[in-house]
Amino acid sequence: MVTNYLDMFKNLQISKKELSNKLGGNLHVVKLEKPVTIFNTDVINVLRAIRDGRITLNQLLDWVNTVWFTDLYEYDDEYSDSIASVLDKLEDLDEEYRKLTKSDIEKYINALSENKEV
């Protein structure tokens, strides 16, 4: 059941707040036997959602921070370096008050598609 909620969050079907409520509060203390895998296509889908206006910057940051800073998710081995490099850039948006441009988004999508680091 927990995995279903994690998949729903990964696929932008529920918010971080809804995920927290379903899993009992603090996502940093939830332990799983096997984390849910994040594939390059999952990150591409989130990038397309922000580019197309289907999610806000805050929703993007919630997604990135949940994937990055909890033990609920792990990266697909084949694409782990490219996924980590893109999430690192996206996570910086919160700290540096940078803008996320359409050209940044396209650059990140290309890096993930080609399995390269940005």
pTM score, whole prediction: 0.94
Is the C-alpha dihedral spanning 2, 60, 80, 102 positive or negative? positive
Q: Cα separation of 90 and 94, whole Å?
A: 8
pLDDT tens per residue across all 118 residues of the chain: 788 999 999 999 999 999 999 999 899 999 899 999 999 999 999 999 999 999 999 999 999 999 999 999 999 999 999 999 999 999 989 776 678 999 999 999 999 999 999 9
Domain ranges across the chain: 2-113
